[in-house]
């Protein structure tokens, strides 16, 4: 079956990627440097999660005071939001002006903002705003790295080795998010600024190394930036992210803010702007988001699978951390202050699974294609979520660790072949923008997943948590008025307290009320087992709903992944010219016809 592409995708003057860079030395340099960049970016995406208590103490800000949860959420999400917004545009700039140039610039920007994050002299809300803005700048640098690293690797490696190379790169990105948890737990208590300083020497080394060693693909372009598309896309994504951020916060007398006029307006505005973006992209001469790439079946199936896998996996880290920090670790004798570090350590089997499965599945996909590994990975991930749901809240760790390892193996088996399948399907001149489009779906899915998972957990908690708290507090001497007030605080405050390593009871009841109680009552209320015992049953309701959603998302991702078809590598211009020459010589050339929709074989 022959495959024809729209003329839009054929730009021979831009270079076809079949350059003389496939020598043994250079391709390993490219792999090492881009893997370092992705690892650094994703470690910093999560390193703050565990170190947040130390950061807030360092800047003298209580994140649990009403109104301060804004700073908490945006310190976590600003990095993900900015990478989701910019990664397509920066991939497009890489196609236009050079992927290595844009990648090198990203390394430099990332390093500068990592240093700026560590040197704030402010305190209170001003310091929180400073850190948020610097995290946005750090996210800009990360977006440059994410948008162009896959395209650089695809240019550097021959098609029969791309799966392995992209597998290592992708697994480094996935593993980095969990390595960051442990690093944050170790460095944060020593000095919170260290979680940012640690990236500076790595960034300086990576910037100089990339500048000296990475080679640019020759290209001669005369393209323009699609400003209407860039602006409507950025505003649309930001509006949706704002809706999600405020949607999981309390509003009025409601436990969540999904009925808030701000949330409703932001959500509708985001949908409207993205609809306008889609229309613009079909009408401008040189669009930012090449809708025509979705005519390539392997690209479409792989990108949609990326989004669905991200939806199923993105909120997992937060839910598992809360499960460990709020319930399991205290029940096993850990103080709430120690739980952030140990939560990261106990989740290491997940990282191990990524590290084992990613490179191997990427290597095998070079030979057998992406479909069996990506589809099988999603089916195994769905099974692991279903088995996690069967665990009791106070589980045996060996069973939990085994299922985390299984989930990591499954996600690693999916990620590397899927990414290789997407990149192999792209015309050489559009690898940057195609990589950016795929990364946008992945990063956006993480933010949406966090909103969905938190919403499901809060719904589960809202069903019985209030009554459980009231009766538990009153039975241990807390005055009825104080018990009633604590019981009606929004569940998200309780989740944030556990997530930050605080004793939730101390936050709910208040230091003054606790000090007025007998010593025995204080000991019980502040003990390791009181809060976990109260929250276990309500938390399990929300946890089951979250895992059910994850199972469904993974099953749909598996079905979508299967639809990609068999192994498909987009021909380079040199391949097409050779085929045309052979057809002419044989006298079997076809009369040119109108472009047909693209599909994988």
Q: Which residues contact 577 (CB under 8 A, 6 or more apart)?
A: none
Give tens-digit pLDDT for 504-541: 787 778 777 888 888 888 888 888 888 888 888 888 88
135: which 2 tokens? Answer: 């995290």
Q: CA 500 to CA 496: how far, in whole Å?
A: 6
Count how many residues are written for the chain: 601
In the chain, where the domains are located: 232-287
Residue 10: pLDDT over 80? no
Q: Give every CB contact of residue 300 below 8 A, 6+ residues apart in sequence.
A: 294
Residue 168: pLDDT above 60? yes
pLDDT at 74: 82
Q: Is 468 exposed, middle or buried (0-12, 13-18, 19+ CB in 10 A)?
A: middle
- Among 386, 500, 405, 397, which residue's Cα sits nearest to residue 75? 500
| 254: β partners | 251
Q: What share of the chain is helix, strand, coil (3-state, %, to 5)?
A: 75, 0, 25
Task: Give Cα separations from 151 to 79, 162, 469, 583 (angstroms).
Answer: 22, 11, 53, 31
* 3-class DSSP assignment, residue 251: strand
For residue 485, what are its two tokens?
Answer: 């007030």
Q: What global pTM score does this model have?
A: 0.78
Span 7-11, average pLDDT: 39
Rg over alpha carbons for the chain, rounded to the nearest Å, is 25
Residue 585: the pLDDT is: 52
Tokens coding 530: 């009181």
pLDDT of residue 587: 53
DSSP-derived letter for residue 254 is B
- Does the pLDDT value for residue 143 go beyond 80? yes
pLDDT at 259: 85
Q: What is the pLDDT of residue 134?
A: 93
**Residue 5 predicted with pLDDT over 80:** no
Task: State pLDDT tens for residues 216-252.
Answer: 876 655 667 778 888 898 888 888 878 887 887 777 7
Percent of the chain with pLDDT over 70: 89
Mean pLDDT of 185-205: 88
DSSP run (H or E) holding 520 = helix 519-525
* More confident position, 164 or 374: 374
- Residue 113 confidence (pLDDT): 94
Q: Where do we find the tokens 């649990």?
A: 64
Structure tokens that stand for 496 in this block: 């944030």
Nearest to 151 by CA among 197, 106, 212: 106
User: What is residue 124's predicted lDDT score, i.e. its pLDDT?
Assistant: 87
Average pLDDT over the chain, rounded to an integer = 80
Query: Is a pLDDT exceeding 70 seen at residue 31?
Result: yes
Give just the sign of the alpha carbon dihedral 319, 325, 330, 332. Answer: positive
Reply yes or no on whether the pLDDT at 9 is more than 70. no
Q: How much is the average pLDDT of 184-198?
A: 86
The number of angstroms, rounded, from the C-alpha of 407 to the middle of its chain's C-alpha atoms is 16
Res 16 pLDDT > 60: no
Output the pLDDT for position 319. Answer: 83
Higher local confidence (pLDDT), 28 or 69: 28
Q: How far apart are CA 21 and CA 10, in angstroms?
A: 22
Tokens of 574: 């040199």
Q: How many CB atoms lie within 10 A of CB 235?
A: 18
Say if residues 297 and 600 touch (Cβ distance below 8 Å). yes
Q: What are phi and psi of 254, to 5 degrees?
A: -95, 150
Could you report the per-residue pLDDT of 543-582, keeping only the tens digit for each? 888 899 999 999 999 999 998 877 767 776 554 544 444 4
Mean pLDDT in residue range 415-439: 80
172 versus 396: which is more confidently predicted? Answer: 396
Q: Which of 53-62, 111-120, 589-598 tops mean pLDDT? A: 111-120
- Structure tokens that stand for 600 in this block: 């994988």
Q: Which of 227, 225, 261 is nearest to 242 (CA)?
A: 261
């Amino acid at each position: 079956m022959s495959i024809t592409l729209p003329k839009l995708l054929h730009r021979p003057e831009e270079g076809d990627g079949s350059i003389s860079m496939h020598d043994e030395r250079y391709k390993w340099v490219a792999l090492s440097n881009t893997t370092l960049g992705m690892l650094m970016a994703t470690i910093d995406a999560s390193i703050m999660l565990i170190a947040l208590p130390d950061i807030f103490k360092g800047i003298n800000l209580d994140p649990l005071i009403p109104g301060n949860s804004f700073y908490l959420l945006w310190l976590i999400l600003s990095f993900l939001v900015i990478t989701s917004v910019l990664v397509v545009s920066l991939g497009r700039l890489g196609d236009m002006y050079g992927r290595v140039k844009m990648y090198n610039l990203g390394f430099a920007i990332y390093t500068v903002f990592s240093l700026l994050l560590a040197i704030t002299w402010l305190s209170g809300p001003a310091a929180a705003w400073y850190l948020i803005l610097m995290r946005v700048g750090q996210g800009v640098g990360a977006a440059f790295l994410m948008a162009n690293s896959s395209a650089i690797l695809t240019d550097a490696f021959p098609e029969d080795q791309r799966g392995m190379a992209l597998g290592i790169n992708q697994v480094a990105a996935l593993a980095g998010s969990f390595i960051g948890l442990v690093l944050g737990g170790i460095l944060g208590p020593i000095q919170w600024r260290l979680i940012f300083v640690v990236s500076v020497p790595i960034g300086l080394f990576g910037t100089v190394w990339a500048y000296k060693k990475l080679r640019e693909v020759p290209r001669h372009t005369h393209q323009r930036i699609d400003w209407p598309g860039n602006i409507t896309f950025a505003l649309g994504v930001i509006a949706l992210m704002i809706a999600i951020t405020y949607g999981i916060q309390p509003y009025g007398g409601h436990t969540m803010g999904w009925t808030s006029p701000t949330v409703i307006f932001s959500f509708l505005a985001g949908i409207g702007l993205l609809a306008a973006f889609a229309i613009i992209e079909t009408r401008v001469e040189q669009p930012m988001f090449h809708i025509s790439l979705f005519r390539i079946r392997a690209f479409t199936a792989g990108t949609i699978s990326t989004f669905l896998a991200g939806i199923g996996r993105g909120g997992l880290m937060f839910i598992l951390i809360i499960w460990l920090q709020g319930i399991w670790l205290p029940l096993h004798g850990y103080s709430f202050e120690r739980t952030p570090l140990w939560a990261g350590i106990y989740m290491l089997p997940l990282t191990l699974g990524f590290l084992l499965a990613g490179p191997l599945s990427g290597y095998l996909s070079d030979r057998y294609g992406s479909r069996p590994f990506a589809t099988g990975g999603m089916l195994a991930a769905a099974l692991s979520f279903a088995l996690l749901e069967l665990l009791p809240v106070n589980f045996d760790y060996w069973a939990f660790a085994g299922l985390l390892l299984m989930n990591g193996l499954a996600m690693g088996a999916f990620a590397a072949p899927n990414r290789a399948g997407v990149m192999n399907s792209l015309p050489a001149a559009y690898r940057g923008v195609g990589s950016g489009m795929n990364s946008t779906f992945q990063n956006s899915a993480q933010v949406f997943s966090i909103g969905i998972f938190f919403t499901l957990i809060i719904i589960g908690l809202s069903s019985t948590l209030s009554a459980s708290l009231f009766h538990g507090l009153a039975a241990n001497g807390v005055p009825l008025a104080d018990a009633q007030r604590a019981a009606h605080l929004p569940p998200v405050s309780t989740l944030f307290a556990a997530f930050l390593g605080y004793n939730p009871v101390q936050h709910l009841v208040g230091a003054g009320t606790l000090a007025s109680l007998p010593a025995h009552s204080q000991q019980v209320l502040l003990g390791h087992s009181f809060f976990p015992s109260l929250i276990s049953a309500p938390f399990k309701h929300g946890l089951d709903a979250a895992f059910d959603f994850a199972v469904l998302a993974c099953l749909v991702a598996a079905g979508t992944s299967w639809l990609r078809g068999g192994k498909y590598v987009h021909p380079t211009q040199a391949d097409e010219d050779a085929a045309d020459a052979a057809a002419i010589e044989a006298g079997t050339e076809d009369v040119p016809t109108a472009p047909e929709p693209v599909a994988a074989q």
